[in-house]
Chains A and B, each alone.
Chain A
Amino acid sequence: MGPRSTYKKHVLARGVSFISVAFILMIWTVSTHFKWVDPVFLPSPQSVWQTFLELLREGYKGISLSSHILDSLYRLFIALILALFTAVPLGIFCGISKYVLAFFDPIIEFYRPLPPLAYYALLVLWLGIDDRSKVALLFLSAFAPLFLATVASVQRVPQDRINAARSLGATKPKVLLYIILPSCLPDIITGLRTAIGVTYATLVAAEMVAATSGIGWMVLDASKYLRSDIVFVGIILMGGIAILMDSLIRLYQHLQFSWVGKQDS
């Protein structure tokens, strides 16, 4: 298969995705235009667009739309950065030593499958209703996927690669920094993508339970007043932001890790 035909297939696949989105938009437009569905349940695309412009101009409940979004993203990023700087080093040590792993494994395996909202009440109780409890909740949901990705990745680093570095004069700490960490970076970034997905879902849930700002809170609050147009704006924004973040990371992966998967071994 030549590069030309691969490219052709790529373009074709993009076309199919485009058709799928256009198809949904078309059904949405047609069904609302002919009033097949009550506008309370399904507002028309035009009214969603109007609401979006209105929210941009006036904000929601005294807070501008961009502040809602930035509040949410701020919580998300603080949690992700905290998780990156704790889960990755701990994951590396757990990947190297099975005793360290044996120590942390039961803790992480226990809390990981718990629904975050189950212990959110406790976090609110301990840390208060403001951002701290939310960041803690998001941190916990980002930590597990990052940690697991790092551990698995460290365990897969070829022993020969480590041996090669050692016989080139690298001490053990240097092997950690210059060989193991870069070897695992692609997997860590993939773990980060998973973590962002999980954390994003948790974020919206957290804001729905206790908040006075944020895009998740806006959606829940609007639904109390049956403002399904605002709910739609919120949902589309959430989805759009998630896709944007994921494509940015994918672009970074593409630029930075061209070697991944091409290695003959």
Chain B
Amino acid sequence: MQTSAPTTAHSSMAHNRNPTLIELKNIRLAYSQEHHDTPILDDINLQLDADDFVCLLGPSGCGKSSLLNILAGFQTPTAGEVMIDSQPHTGPSAKVGVVFQHHNLFPWMTIAKNIEFGLKMKGVEKSERKKLVSDYLNLVGLESSAHLLPYQLSGGMKQRAAIARTLATDPQAILMDEPFSALDALTRENMQAHLLELWQKTKKCIFFITHDVEEALLLGRRILVMHANPGRMVVDLQNPLSSYRQSIQELKHLKEFHDLRSYLISAIRNKEVNSPRLGWLR
């Protein structure tokens, strides 16, 4: 991003290659109790490209959210380094946007004001802010809800507003912690399609936590699996389905989809997996 022109909303097309944006080096996290430390994350090494769409799977309690908190800068690791754009990442900043499981919109602000918040914090001028807010309202299809308060919106609309709010500050990476898990099935499918479309438009680095294997297969270009006690990476896989992605519904009919699905499920369940069926995965 160093070379790119001032903030037009979707400017990361400047990259021809995919440089590493985020780098985790030997990350450890432990909570110290009276007599011993409980390890949460053990020696996590990870590199995320500037236009990666990474889905992280894992059983609950494996440290997925702790890892996200470290990436976001909400939590300092016990040991190890987080580099963003080759610079140490020491605390939360607008470089790394976060979309939470709960929308976390500011309840006293209208949807437009919520989206404007990050721009205001950045010191963007008022006329420019207005323009960007209406751009992002359009992007997520909430133009008509601009002046409503969050509680007046449905769950899916709130989550869309939250995504727009995060996108508006033009972060280099977006972290998402099970953002669609609280939505009903139909809304979730719409949101997934929406997110894919957004990613294809903006090509931002997305780090997406989910416990839903199908969701990971539908969305992720790369899929990671973590195991618990202590949390560690056990699978790091380029999703072969992402290259010939037509529509989410069609994907579900592919044989590979089901093979991958059962592979990932057993990987999450901590079973030995070296099914010959999966030879083509390499």
Contacts and interface: CB of A to CB of B under 8 A. Distances in A.
B169 interface: yes
Given A258-B149, A259-B149, A262-B151, A169 B93 contact: yes
Contacts of B96: 167
Interface stretch (B115-123, B221-229, B260-268): B115-123
Contacts of B91: 166
A185 B73 CA distance: 28
Given A160-B100, A163-B98, A167-B73, A259 B108 contact: yes
A182 interface: yes
A114 B81 CA distance: 54
A178 B117 CA distance: 9
Interface string B146-181: 000111000100000000011001010000000000
A226 B172 CA distance: 79
Interface string A151-163: 0000000101101
Given A168-B94, A263-B151, A160 B108 contact: no
B98 A167 contact: yes
Given A160-B100, A259-B151, A167 B108 contact: no
Contacts of A171: 121
Contacts of A182: 106, 108
B92 interface: yes
A169 B149 CA distance: 22
Contacts of A185: 108
Nearest to A263: B107
Interface in B169-221: 169, 171
A141 to B, nearest CB: 30
Contacts of A262: 107, 151
A157 to B, nearest CB: 11
Contacts of B94: 167-169
A257 B149 CA distance: 11
B31 interface: no
Given A163-B72, A169-B94, A259-B149, A265 B102 contact: yes
A256 B19 CA distance: 48
Contacts of B149: 258-259
Given A163-B74, A263-B151, A168 B108 contact: no
A179 B151 CA distance: 17
A102 to B, nearest CB: 23
B190 to A, nearest CB: 19
A161 B149 CA distance: 16
B60 interface: no
A179 B118 CA distance: 12
Contacts of B77: none
Interface string B71-94: 011100000000000000001111
A168 B165 contact: yes
A35 interface: no
Nearest to A174: B121
Contacts of A263: 107, 150-151
Contact of B107 (A167, A170, A259): A259
Nearest to A170: B121
Contacts of A42: none
A234 B168 CA distance: 59
Nearest to A171: B121
A184 to B, nearest CB: 11
Q: Which 5 pairs between the two chains have the least Cβ-Cβ distance?
A: A169-B94, A168-B118, A166-B92, A262-B151, A169-B121
Interface of A: 158, 160-161, 163-171, 174, 178-179, 182-183, 185, 257-260, 262-265
13 contacts: A160-B102, A163-B92, A164-B100, A166-B93, A167-B93, A167-B166, A169-B93, A169-B122, A185-B108, A259-B151, A263-B150, A263-B151, A265-B102
Interface of B: 72-74, 91-94, 96-98, 100, 102, 104, 106-108, 117-118, 121-122, 149-151, 155, 165-166, 169, 171
